[in-house]
Amino acid sequence: MDTQREIPGIFAGMLAVIRRDLLLAWKRPGDMLNPLFFFAMVSTLFPLGTGPSAEQLEFSGPGVLWVAALLAMMVSLNTLFLQDHEDGSLDQLLVSPQPLPALALGKTIAHWITSGLPLVLVTPIVAVAYRMTVDVIGVLLLTLALGTVSLSLLGAVGAALTVGLHRATALLSLLILPLAMPILIVGAGAVSLAASGEGLSGGVFFLAAYAIGALSLAPFATAAALRISNE
Amino acid sequence: MTTGRKVLTAKLSASGLSLLRGERLLIRDLDFALNPREMLLLEGKNGSGKTSLLRAMAGLLEFESGELLWDGVSVRKQRQEFHGALTWLSHRTGLKGDLTLGENLRFESGLRAQHDIDFDGVLKRLGIERLTLLPLRSLSAGQQRRVALARLLLTDAPLWLMDEPFTNLDREGRALVMELVSEHISKDGMCVMAAHQDVQIDGTVVKVNLS
């Protein structure tokens, strides 16, 4: 029995997690659609409240869409590790011979594919209602794509820290929102700048840098948080 | 060195383990040694710390003090190797109710080294070969437990950590678990089990009473 056991590589483990979570999302589409409906509802109800004048929509559009996207991501983050914690499969991930940061990154990637990506894909439809031009919608998509990646990564850390606590939605938001503020400010700012025809590369570069920073740090923080909070 | 020679040369050994849960010292100064072809049976009343001890051995909880050694080296210094050598079976199955049996077990094969064993044979042995196409949610608790047992047979990890493996199983299922453990031990395997039922295993059984 002392023969060398061939443990599947890091990427095999990460891919297994991604594949399983996508399969689960496919079998339970409700979990995936909830944040999406939330996003669509907030962003379509907003003009009804403020009045449909064209200038007002153009002025408030970037901010409203960004805030709605941020909150929709928050809604989806709660469940990231919750089910795994309850059914014991988080234990199985923790005792597997795979490096935990890789598995945590796998969970985060699956989360982005099932929450961030659909959000980015629905955005053009909603953005048209805010009288955005094609160019501005392009910038909006780019900034949202980068921003949601960062939010998934940061959110995973928060979700891992609060996994053992019940009904920790408020705590999770408190943990994540301060770190998410720069994303919101810069993201919405870049879209506004694009709408008024000014340079936007600064904002896009900032969001890209933020996403890369989060990508290199968050999986390790998530893994450490999971070890602490999964008692 | 206060620990005896037997402890130092054992495959899995513990010296001076203490475990704190909340304000309470659940386990104080526990020593044991376990070698291939042996099983460690944890006994004790409800709340005596059987599950906590097993979880701590699996690395899911931290010991307050003391050291758990695998091949004479602290498991904290070789977490990945140690995790590669163990299979964890808790009272929660760790399986996804929305996925089928095959999807669940295929997922685990991406994480762990697999035994080149015939998959259908394992399912037949556990009496779950007819359930492959159903989501686990629709199976009974006992059937789900049998699916979790497949985890033990699909990897060749030498150390089985089992927390109350008899939960939800019928008489036949309980006999099957004991048979599987006996077989595993006879093939140089090791097992640490927490149970409050009578366990009949062919092989050396070391008992530790925690109450």
Instruction: Specify which residues B87 forms β-bridges with.
Output: B160
pLDDT of amino acid A142: 92
pLDDT at position A3 over 50? no
Other beta carbons within 10 angstroms of residue B156's beta carbon come to 20
A112-161 pLDDT tens trace: 999 999 999 999 988 888 888 888 888 899 999 999 999 999 999 999 99
Query: What value does the mean pLDDT take over residues B153-157?
Result: 85
A82 vs B contacts (CB less than 8 Å): none
pLDDT of amino acid A67: 92
- The residue ranking higher by pLDDT, A212 or B166, is A212
Chain A nearest-CA distance from B98, in A, is: 7
Which two three-digit tokens encode residue B56? 């701590």
Chain B nearest-CA distance from A85, in A, is: 9
A87 vs B contacts (CB less than 8 Å): 92-97
Please indicate if any CB of chain B lies within 8 Å of the CB of A89: yes
Contact yes or no for B64/B26 (Cβ under 8 A):
no
B61 vs A contacts (CB less than 8 Å): 231
Chain B nearest-CA distance from A26, in A, is: 10
**Cα-trace Rg, chain B:** 17
Please indicate if any CB of chain B lies within 8 Å of the CB of A24: yes
Residues B141, B120: Cα–Cα separation, whole Å: 21
Of the listed ranges B1-5, B30-34, B39-43, the one predicted with least confidence: B1-5
pLDDT of amino acid A172: 87
Residues A34, A118: Cα–Cα separation, whole Å: 11
Query: Residue B207 burial by CB count (10 A; 0-12/13-18/19+): exposed, middle or buried?
Result: exposed
pLDDT band at A212 (very low <50, low <70, confident <90, very high): very high
User: Hey, are the CB atoms on B96 and A1 less than 8 Å from each other?
Assistant: no
pLDDT at position A102 over 90? yes
pLDDT of amino acid A8: 74
pLDDT of amino acid A5: 57
Share of chain B above pLDDT 70, in %: 94
Residue of A nearest to B87 (CA): A95
pLDDT band at B8 (very low <50, low <70, confident <90, very high): low
A9 vs B contacts (CB less than 8 Å): none
What is the longest distance spanned by two Cα atoms in chain A? 75
Residues A206, B71: Cα–Cα separation, whole Å: 50
A93 vs B contacts (CB less than 8 Å): 111
pLDDT of amino acid B115: 65
pLDDT band at B131 (very low <50, low <70, confident <90, very high): confident
pLDDT at position A216 over 70? yes
User: Hey, are the CB atoms on B110 and A91 less than 8 Å from each other?
Assistant: no
Helix (H, G, I), strand (E, B) or coil at A113: helix
pLDDT at position B5 over 60? no
B8 Cβ contact list (under 8 Å, min separation 6): B1, B72
Q: At what angle do helices B101-109 and A10-27 cross, to 10 degrees?
A: 160
- The residue ranking higher by pLDDT, A39 or B72, is A39
B96 vs A contacts (CB less than 8 Å): 20, 24, 87, 89
pLDDT of amino acid A184: 92
pLDDT band at A2 (very low <50, low <70, confident <90, very high): very low
> What are the backbone angles phi and psi of residue B40, rounded to the nearest 5°?
-105, 120
pLDDT of amino acid B3: 45
The whole model's pTM is what?
A: 0.89
pLDDT at position A199 over 60? yes
Share of chain B above pLDDT 90, in %: 6
Query: What value does the mean pLDDT take over residues B188-208?
Result: 84
Of the listed ranges A69-78, B128-137, B186-195, B201-210, the one predicted with least confidence: B201-210
Residues B132, B126: Cα–Cα separation, whole Å: 12
The predicted complex's ipTM stands at: 0.88
Share of chain A above pLDDT 90, in %: 48
A48-62, A179-193, B121-135 — most confident range: A179-193
Amino acid residing at B190: M
CA angle A103, A107, A109 (to 5 degrees): 110
Residues A45, A37: Cα–Cα separation, whole Å: 12
Residues B11, B66: Cα–Cα separation, whole Å: 17
Of the listed ranges A22-31, B111-120, B132-141, the one predicted with least confidence: B111-120
pLDDT at position B165 over 60? yes
- The residue ranking higher by pLDDT, A173 or B8, is A173
Amino acid residing at A73: M
Between B92, B94, B112, which is nearest A97 by CB? B112
Query: What value does the mean pLDDT take over residues B126-150?
Result: 88
User: Hey, are the CB atoms on A91 and B83 less than 8 Å from each other?
Assistant: no
pLDDT band at A1 (very low <50, low <70, confident <90, very high): very low
Please indicate if any CB of chain B lies within 8 Å of the CB of A198: no
DSSP string, B59-124: TSS--SEEEEEETTEEGGGSHHHHHHTEEEE-SS----TTSBHHHHHHHHHTTS------HHHHHH
Of the listed ranges A100-104, A196-200, B57-61, B150-154, the one predicted with least confidence: A196-200
Please indicate if any CB of chain B lies within 8 Å of the CB of A12: yes
Residues A110, A26: Cα–Cα separation, whole Å: 12
Residues A116, B8: Cα–Cα separation, whole Å: 52
